[in-house]
Amino acid sequence: MKNYTLDILNELTQNVKKVDSDEIENFVKQINSANHIFLNGAGRSGIAIQAFANRLMHLGFSVSLVGEISSPHSKAGDLLIICSGSGETGSLKSLAKKAKQSGVKLALVTMKKASTIGRLADVVLVLPGTTKEENKRDDAFAQPMGSAFEQLAFLTFDGLVMNLMDDTEESSETMFARHADFE
């Protein structure tokens, strides 16, 4: 039995080198200028974006996960961040279209910039990977379905948090003051 963890880390290291730093900068600008930030994703991408929403809250941003009962009404000046590897998930496409009709800015983390959601988005952050529908692998080692994208999304969201900490002069200590105490 082989331990694949080092192969996974190597794959992610190679993929992160392909991420465009200008796209990261534009993404951070959208977050910093938003009145309220809505976040959504499906499946494992949805889990990664939930963790990002949590850290944005710790940074002091006004955030909501779409579909939560405490989520407020959207308005112009808000931002919707969607994490979708394919950019074609049906429910997320509908949500993206509604956001644009409402005057809400749209940011997408995806593998497919030319996707339906990508074409609607104001800013797109492309992360390398293989969608669950694709069988072609570029390397001798590649994780199944969208695993590499989902893992890189999680790590990229943590990198964005570090960028936002620099911008807002937040620290782990100041963020901890916003950490849940009812657990």
CA atoms within 13 A on the CB side of 13: 7
Verify whether residue 23 is a known catalytic residue. no
Of 11, 68, 134, 150, which residue is the catalytic one? Answer: 150
Helices (H) and strands (E) counted in the chain, each on its own, are 7, 5
Strand partners, 109: 83, 125
Q: Report helix, strand or coil for 40.
A: strand
Q: Are 91 and 42 spatial neighbours (Cβ–Cβ below 8 Å)?
A: yes
Show which residues are catalytic: 150
